[in-house]
Chains A and B, each alone.
Chain A
Amino acid sequence: MERKEIKFVLNGKPYEMSIPPWRTLLEVIRDDLKLTGTKEGCGQGECGSCTVIMGGKTVNSCLVPALEAEGQEITTIEGLAEAATLHPIQEAFVEQSGMQCGFCTPGMIISAKFLLDRNPSPSESEIRDGIAGNFCRCTGYTKIIESISAAAEAMKGGT
């Protein structure tokens, strides 16, 4: 079976892997690296449950061929907390009840991180647009928006 070599950095840790060329980034993350925090919902780039940051941008990892990860830096939900200390966005989701079933939560928090990294003081409508690629069926989005807004407030002055 044809395989390709790739190197990338995930959550600050370097990886070298040999993978079949059709493997998706999501499969590499979940099945090869066993990082199951990133979820597969629809598998066709609609639901946002598999959102990760690659090369400084959010991507639906179910649609990204893993070969594109060559030389990239990737952040998944497991890469946010530092040891026992939650990232301020995670902290805000806990405090503001920004999750219910939790299945969309990893992707939602990653989208929130990407938003706040670029725009530290987003308006409500900018938050809504920032998570427009992430479905949530449980919350009606209200508590998620409040969580992101609280995180932005908490992160003022830098993370």
Chain B
Amino acid sequence: MKFSENRIYIDQELCTGCKRCSQVCPVDAIEGKQGEPQSVNTDRCVLCGQCIQICSAYASAFDQDIAPREQKLSERKLLPSVKEPLFAAYNEGKAPEVKAALADKELYKMVQCAPAVRVAIAEEFELPLGSLSPGKLAAALRMLGFNSIYDTNFTADLTIMEEGNELIQRLENNGVLPMFTSCCPAWVKYVEQEYPELIPHLSSCKSPMQMAGAMFKTYGAQVAGIDAEKIYSAAVMPCTCKSFEAARPEMNSSGYRDVDAVITTRELAHLIKDAGINFADLPDESFDAPLGTYSGAGNIFCATGGVTEAALRTAYEVIAKEPIPNVDLEFVRGTDGVRTAVVGAGDIELKIAIVSGLKNAVSVLDSIKAGKTDLHFVEVMTCPGGCINGGGQPKLLLPADRAVASEYRSASTYIHDSSIEYRKSHDNPEIKKLYNNYLGKPLGDKSHHLLHTKYTARR
């Protein structure tokens, strides 16, 4: 099967061959000798973008024999107005394409933002690391000209409804266990290429971004009273692999390509600057109902352990048939590469593993392959700490700031969670409405068609 050209590039003119990227690459995809420009093995690469985050080989004012900046910006598909230094490792942008779509009056522009964007984008406007800015983010998107300011957090709640019920179904019907989370596209690609025999463990749920894509051009079109053909569906993600996911050929269950373009947090900052919007001074605005209403559970997807915590807040109540005693499940939070927990719900003891950083998944996967675990649920986030430290997030210039940013972005994520009226995905009133008015029930026929997917062994 031919997948898209979405990939990670290393600029041969800029790479000095220091090989620090190969130290953070979780899949040994970076090839080349020390001191020579490196290249990316696209079969192995999972497009997590950690190499982009660590790369310090930038186009310096001292470099005379390199292509002009204008040419590099154009090759990287970045806006010509971008002022930041250019580094050797990069992903191709989509901001010029989104800018053109925003100017197209024939299109109805819908946008979604991943939870991690609101705890990091302010950093690109000289605000403190980890500043929480969902209100400014919504305001900026509206000023840019998007017609519906929707949210990936809404479909994170929807993911919990589907994935939580899928887990319960697997538990009740002796299904394949442990079930793996499927919201991280780099993790999914990794399983497909390195552990294809474990594909049945992956939840069949699409990622929140792809669920949103499928809902925009169906339910969203119905709500807006417009033809789905006119909808331009954009996603703002902390991730360099989401472009790859959106381009997977099966991601067209709305009858169209579900997500037309994915831009990173950094590229949204470029668009905001390009439009002359003063982000730091924007008033707080809201995301639009119905597909932009979210619970705290949907918001914590971006931190390691967050998907698990959100799932438990719902699964506990479905299994135990009583409210969860405390929604703040501190025991699944943390920063260790592999964390395990046992959670009692009704007469079931759920055994859970949470993996932060794809390198740490190997030991868990090997023990599952060897039949040596009795786990029920495994969450894997490719980027250490989760999506808050994704490859598309603002790039820290100094290594010492990385740990600080990670800590503050994570703290803001949970602060936001605790300040939202609804803390559990199943309490989100728009989720209830969506099931009542459109989808029917979790794992129902319509859900199956729009919200679930299949995977491809890549060897």
Tell me whether A and B are bound partners.
Answer: no
Chain A residues close to B by CB (< 8 Å) = none
